[in-house]
Structure 1
């Protein structure tokens, strides 16, 4: 009963704040969810794995799997440095793991080590050409690395495999936006019309197409989210893609706020949360470059030169 009351209170607050937010207010009162916290199940699982790793009768293949599973658990808790250590340990014991190369590629992308990311995703696809995420993740890495033509090839192929996935459409649009903004908008409309529009993520596409206002978009999230978990997940996605749009339009203060809100829900496993920190770094670099160069003080006149 108490938990249900908490959920209802959170949703009511989110609805109230959604009505208050607007571009003019710069989200001083944005809708938010209670941030994800480590669950008792995750903590128990982590303790069990730690106990299992103390055994000395495990072969390398079993150890590799255990390190991989602990890495995933650390990753889900936002402990990415510990997760990276586990994934590397797993790979040293069993080098032919496409899933490990894939997640390491994502980590390399997050830290802007793009060449290492490309190699990791290439290794994933060499080991499993049908890997469900490696081609998308490589396309995203290529996008962040500024290789838009190659990014388009990967993300377009990924989109063709499932045209009713709105997130494939969104990432493809973000790449095309860097190449030809007018054509990107037209293609986004065409892909939207060709879809079944069933997934919630199509509301993000509608927002990008200006079919719904920003207030309607956020209010819909608040009203339709069934519990705090759904609210946190949808706001993580919404704030990230809103931030991308403001970032593209060089509204740096708004984009900065939205990327920070993306991180606020602690939805560590979502792509949007993973890349929000990278976006913040890129944004700060762009903002600094856009500042006017400081005026140089006039050189002092040396006594005696004024009369020359």
Structure 2
């Protein structure tokens, strides 16, 4: 699964599996030119109910600052999960006012600052989280991502290496370590990625994301792996959010700008707001918009006649 920023939520409504009854999606092995799509995720009844209950508790109960901080944080996480990020950020800040040593809230604030490309303040937020919780794995990941997008690759590699070594059997950790290393030395990064795959890779579908990057499979084979064993629409949407993000990065590295844009848009289309792949697909599109080629120029795909993904 994609990362949920390492949050620990107290209410029994937070997780990857949907508690609503959804018919298993009817999916088939994709053909070379086909795309796999899921129904975009919708706000669940459980999330709406949680927001109502948390608001009632905050408005009517006598609470200690610690309790208010926890409730603000819980509500912020739910706001974030349903895509209401301005309201989420407001509640994370409220949690910090009530509890200035709230590491998880600093972590979330840092992520929002990265998405706004406010890197210096993001570094400070992650530094605060790690000062308060030195073993907070996901703060290392998120600071590493901030440093990656902030063009500080050496520092990014250090954080990604620590994050990877804490759980080397996780293919997503191997991929982010690769992305960070690639900014400095593409050959070394690929050599390490192949080593990680050889040592820890197994038959789980998400290791095929790594196999795509190492050239062992192609995109069509990857999409065939994605749909295997899918139980419901939520699981399919989550897998596709992850897959299309990493396909976008893969095509971007090859210089296929139009394909990359299409894949990043597909990652967003699933509404899996709490996955980092959703968050940074949007950032990737914003960064690419800044680097748009001048009118009349041709991308590599247009020059070769290769069709875009959409």
TM-score range, shorter chain: 0.7 to 0.9
Where do 1:10-89 residues align within 5 Å? 10-12=25-27, 15=28, 18-19=30-31, 21=33, 29-55=34-60, 57-89=62-94
**Cα distance in structure 2, aligned partners of 1:87 and 1:291:** 45
Partner of residue 300, structure 1: none
**Cα distance in structure 2, aligned partners of 1:210 and 1:49:** 48
Partner of residue 303, structure 2: none
**Cα distance in structure 2, aligned partners of 1:220 and 1:196:** 14
**Cα distance in structure 2, aligned partners of 1:165 and 1:198:** 12
CA contact (8 A) 1:36 1:229 kept: yes
Answer with 245-254 or 229-238: which moved more: 245-254
Shift of 1:248: 1.9
Shift of 1:288: 3.5
TM-score by length of 2: 0.85
Shift of 1:56: 5.4
**Cα distance in structure 1, aligned partners of 2:92 and 2:41:** 23
Residue 252 (str. 1) matches residue 287 (str. 2): no
Gaps of 5+ in 1: 22-28, 293-308
Shift of 1:257: 0.4
CA contact (8 A) 2:58 2:68 kept: yes
Shift of 1:290: 9.5
Partner of residue 23, structure 2: 7
**Cα distance in structure 2, aligned partners of 1:239 and 1:7:** 23
Partner of residue 190, structure 1: 195
Distance 1:195 1:20, change over 3 A: closer
Where do 1:100-115 residues align within 5 Å? 100-115=105-120
Q: Which has the larger radius of gyration?
A: 1
RMSD of the TM alignment (CA)? 1.8
The structure whose residues are more often helix, as a share, is 1
Runs of 4+ in 1 over 6 A off after TM superposition: none
Gaps of 5+ in 2: 1-19, 298-310
TM-score by length of 1: 0.85
CA contact (8 A) 1:142 1:148 kept: yes
Partner of residue 209, structure 1: 214
Distance 1:281 1:289, change over 3 A: farther
